[in-house]
C-alpha cells in the first residue's frame, strides 16, 4: 500500500456561528467537532495527520495535543490556500492525501476508508466524496459532464440558477495523489465571488490535464453535513445523539426514549442497564451492568458499578459502587466515593466524602469532607458541619455507628465504632466507640402551665 497522509482544515473563524468559540471547537455529542474528525482519521491507517490552524490556533492545539502535526495559516484565504500551507511538510512526498474539513463532525472512518479504496481502485489522481442532499443550499455543487464524469465543483455563491438546482454536493472530503495536489494548487486563483483560493478548483485543473477525477457518492448524506451555523450544529447534535444511542442499544443497553436521552461520545455503559428519559451522561462516565439510571438524572465524569439505581439525581466526578441506591433528588458532588450497597435518599448532598459498604443517609442530609465507615446509619437531617468560615474540616464516623436524626457533627470530629449519637445532638467533641452521646438541652415539662398562661392572657384583656 502506498503511503497515506491526512490534512484537516481547521483555520477558519466560523463567522456564521456568531460565537467567541472557534467553529471547529464547538462540541457535538460533548466533543469538539475537530476532535471527532481526528479520532475518525486515526482509525484509517495514515502515516501523518497535519492540521491547518489559524483562528484560535493555540486552543485547537490544546485540544488535539501531540497526536497531529500543525501548520499555521496566518490569513484565511480559502481552503486551497489552507492546504497549500502544508507544502513544507507534505509537498515532496509520494502517496495519497486525504483532506477533511474540521467542521464535518459526523464523517466516519468507514466512509473515509471506502473513499480511499475507491480512489485506489479507479487509479484516480483525485477522488471526491459526494452525497445527495435534499436541500443542497450552501454546499459546493458537483457538476458532471454528459458522460457522467465530474468536471468541476461550483460553490453555492458562484453557481448559476441552473447549477444551484443540482443536488449532488461536495462533502469537503477528498483524496488526492499528493504530488498532483500540490502541482494543481499552484494554479488555483481567487477569481470568484468570495475572492478565495478554493480547494475544489483543483478538480477542474486536474480534469483539464486529462487525468482521472473520480467521485464516490456516499448514501449517507447525514454523515457529511458541514456545520457552518448553529442551526446546522443542532442538526449535527441530533444525528450524533442518534448514532451514540443506537450504538449503546446495539450493545445491550435499554434506552426507553432515545430522543430524550443525551449521552456524549466517550461514555461507556454495560449491558442490561436501563436508561429512563431526561438523562444526561457525559465526559468520562462509565456505567456498569444492570443499572437503572433516570429519569431526569445527570452523571458526569463518574464511575458507576453494577446493579445500581440513580433516580432524579446529579452525580459529578465521583465513584459509586455496586447495588447502590441514589435518589430521588440527591446530589453527589466531586471526589465522593460511595462503596457497595450504599443508600442515599432524597435531599441528600454528598461532597468529597467516602462512604463504605452498606452505609445509609436516607433523608435530608449534608455529608461533606467526611469518612463514613461500614454499616453506618446517618439519620434524617444529619449534618457534617465541615466549614468554619475559613477552612474545611474532616468528620469521621466509624463502622457501625448510628447518628440520630437532626444531629450536627462539628468537624473536626470522630464518632467511634458502634457509637450512638442521640437525635438532636450537636457533637463538638469526639465520641468514643460503643458510647452513647447526648448533646442537647434536657427536656423539662411544666405541668399545668398552659392554664396559667391562659389566665394571664385573660387578665390582660380584661
Binding site for ligand UD1 (CB under 6 A): 9-12, 24, 52, 73, 76-79, 81-82, 101-104, 139-140, 153, 155, 169-172, 198-200, 226, 228
- Which of helix, strand or coil describes residue 189? coil
Interacting partner of 9 out of ligand UD1, Ca ion, none (Cβ under 5 to 8 A depending on kind)? ligand UD1
52 vs 397, which CB is nearer to ligand UD1? Answer: 52
| Grid cell in block for residue 128 | 471526491
Cβ-contact 77, 9 below 8 angstroms: no
Nearer to ligand UD1, 224 or 353 (CB): 224
Interatomic CA distance for residues 200 and 184, integer angstroms: 11
Choose the one of ligand UD1, Ca ion, none that binds residue 155, judging by a C-beta under 5 to 8 angstroms depending on kind: ligand UD1
Q: Closer to ligand UD1 at the Cβ: 170 or 273? A: 170
Which one, 33 or 41, has the nearer CB to Ca ion?
33
Q: Is 156 marked active-site?
A: no
Give the Cα separation of 144 and 151 in Å (integer).
Answer: 5
- The least distance separating ligand UD1 from the CB of residue 34, rounded to whole angstroms, comes to 8
CA dist., res. 36 & res. 101, Å (int): 11
Reported as type and span, the H/E element at residue 310 is strand 309-310
In terms of Cα–Cα distance, which of 309, 303, 346 is closest to 324?
A: 309
User: Exposure pattern of 224-236 as b/e (b: 16+ CB <10 Å)?
Assistant: bbbbbbeebbebb
Q: Which does 366 bind (CB under 5 to 8 A by kind): ligand UD1, Ca ion, none?
A: none
- Smallest gap from Cβ 83 to Ca ion, in A, equals 15
CB of 67 to ligand UD1, least distance (A): 18
Q: Which does 207 bind (CB under 5 to 8 A by kind): Ca ion, ligand UD1, none?
A: none
Residue closer to ligand UD1, measured from CB, 55 or 300? 55
Strand-pair partners of 214? 127
Q: Closest distance between ligand UD1 and the C-beta of residue 77, in Å?
A: 5
Q: Are 38 and 67 in contact (CB under 8 A)?
A: yes
Q: Which CA distances in Å does 265 have to 3, 60, 314, 340?
A: 30, 19, 19, 27
Distant-in-sequence, close-in-space partners of 89: CB < 8 Å, separation ≥ 6: 48, 50, 69, 71
Strands 213-218 and 254-255: unpaired
Sign of CA dihedral 14, 15, 17, 22: positive
Q: Minimal distance in Å, beta carbon 100 to Ca ion?
A: 11
**Residue 214 contacts which entry, ligand UD1, Ca ion, none (Cβ below 5-8 A, type-dependent):** none
Task: For 337-367, give one letter per residue: b (16+ CB within 10 A) or e.
Answer: bbbbbbbbbebbbbbbbbbbbbbbbbbbbbb
3-state secondary structure of 288: coil
Smallest separation (angstroms) from Ca ion to the CB of 227: 7
Pick the closer one to ligand UD1 by CB: 139 or 262: 139
Q: Closest distance between Ca ion and the C-beta of residue 346, in Å? A: 48
Partner whose binding site includes residue 78, from Ca ion, ligand UD1, none (CB under 5 to 8 Å by kind)? ligand UD1
Cβ atoms of residues 415 and 431 within 8 Å: yes
Which one of ligand UD1, Ca ion, none is in contact with 24 (Cβ closer than 5 to 8 A by kind)?
Answer: ligand UD1
Return the bridge partners of 316, or none: 300
The answer to whether 264 and 29 have CB atoms below 8 angstroms apart is: yes
**Chain position whose Cβ is nearest to ligand UD1:** 140
**Beta carbon of residue 282, minimum distance to ligand UD1 (angstroms, whole number):** 25
* Per-residue exposure over 131-167, b if at least 16 CB sit within 10 Å of its own CB, e if not: bebeebeebbbbbeeeeeebbbbbbeebbeeeeeebe
Of 103 and 317, nearer to Ca ion (C-beta) is: 103
In the complex, the residues that contact Ca ion under the rule CB under 5 A are 103, 226, 228
Check 118, 363, 393, 460 and give the catalytic one. 363
Q: Which does 73 bind (CB under 5 to 8 A by kind): ligand UD1, Ca ion, none?
A: ligand UD1
Q: Return the number of the residue (33 or 315) whose C-beta is nearest ligand UD1.
A: 33
* Residues recognised as catalytic: 363
Amino acid at each position: 500500500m502506498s503511503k497515506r497522509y491526512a490534512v484537516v482544515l481547521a483555520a477558519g473563524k466560523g463567522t456564521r456561528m456568531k460565537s467567541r468559540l472557534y467553529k471547529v471547537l464547538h462540541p457535538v455529542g460533548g466533543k469538539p467537532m475537530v476532535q471527532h474528525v481526528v479520532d475518525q482519521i486515526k482509525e484509517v491507517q495514515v502515516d501523518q495527520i497535519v492540521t491547518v490552524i489559524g483562528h484560535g490556533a493555540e486552543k485547537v492545539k490544546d485540544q488535539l495535543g501531540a497526536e497531529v502535526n500543525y501548520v499555521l495559516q496566518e490569513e484565511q484565504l480559502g481552503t486551497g490556500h489552507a492546504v497549500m500551507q502544508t507544502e513544507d511538510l507534505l509537498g515532496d512526498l509520494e502517496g495519497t492525501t486525504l483532506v477533511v474539513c474540521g467542521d464535518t463532525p459526523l464523517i466516519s472512518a468507514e466512509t473515509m476508508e471506502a473513499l480511499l479504496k475507491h480512489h485506489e481502485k479507479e487509479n484516480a489522481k483525485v477522488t471526491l466524496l459526494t452525497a445527495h442532499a435534499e436541500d443542497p443550499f450552501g454546499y459546493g455543487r458537483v457538476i458532471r459532464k454528459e458522460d457522467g464524469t465530474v468536471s468541476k465543483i461550483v460553490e453555492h455563491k458562484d453557481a448559476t440558477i441552473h447549477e444551484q438546482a443540482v443536488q449532488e454536493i461536495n462533502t469537503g472530503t477528498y483524496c488526492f495523489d499528493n504530488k498532483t495536489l500540490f502541482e494543481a494548487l499552484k494554479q488555483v486563483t481567487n477569481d470568484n465571488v468570495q475572492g478565495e483560493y478554493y480547494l475544489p478548483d483543483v478538480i477542474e485543473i486536474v480534469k483539464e490535464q486529462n487525468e482521472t477525477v473520480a467521485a464516490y457518492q456516499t448514501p449517507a448524506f447525514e454523515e457529511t453535513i458541514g456545520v457552518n451555523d448553529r442551526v446546522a450544529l443542532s442538526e449535527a447534535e441530533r444525528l450524533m445523539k442518534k448514532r451514540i444511542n443506537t450504538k449503546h442499544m446495539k450493545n445491550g443497553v435499554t434506552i426507553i426514549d432515545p430522543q430524550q436521552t443525551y449521552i456524549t461520545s466517550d461514555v461507556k455503559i454495560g449491558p442490561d442497564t436501563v436508561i429512563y428519559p431526561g438523562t444526561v451522561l457525559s465526559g468520562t462516565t462509565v456505567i456498569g451492568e444492570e443499572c437503572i439510571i433516570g429519569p431526569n438524572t445527570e452523571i458526569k465524569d463518574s464511575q458507576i458499578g453494577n446493579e445500581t439505581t440513580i433516580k432524579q439525581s446529579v452525580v459529578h466526578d465521583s465513584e459509586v459502587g455496586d447495588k447502590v441506591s441514589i435518589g430521588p433528588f440527591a446530589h453527589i458532588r466531586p471526589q465522593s466515593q460511595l462503596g457497595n450497597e450504599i443508600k442515599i435518599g432524597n435531599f441528600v448532598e454528598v461532597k468529597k466524602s467516602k462512604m463504605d459498604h452498606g452505609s445509609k443517609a436516607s433523608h435530608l442530609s449534608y455529608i461533606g469532607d467526611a469518612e463514613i465507615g461500614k454499616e453506618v446509619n446517618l439519620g434524617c437531617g444529619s449534618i457534617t458541619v465541615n466549614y468554619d468560615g475559613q477552612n474545611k474540616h474532616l468528620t469521621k464516623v466509624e463502622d457501625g455507628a448510628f447518628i440520630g436524626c437532626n444531629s450536627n457533627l462539628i468537624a473536626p470530629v470522630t464518632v467511634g465504632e458502634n457509637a450512638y449519637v442521640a437525635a438532636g445532638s450537636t457533637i463538638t467533641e469526639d465520641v468514643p466507640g460503643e458510647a452513647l452521646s447526648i448533646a442537647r438541652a434536657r427536656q423539662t415539662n411544666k405541668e399545668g402551665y398552659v392554664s396559667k398562661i391562659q389566665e394571664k392572657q385573660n387578665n390582660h384583656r380584661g
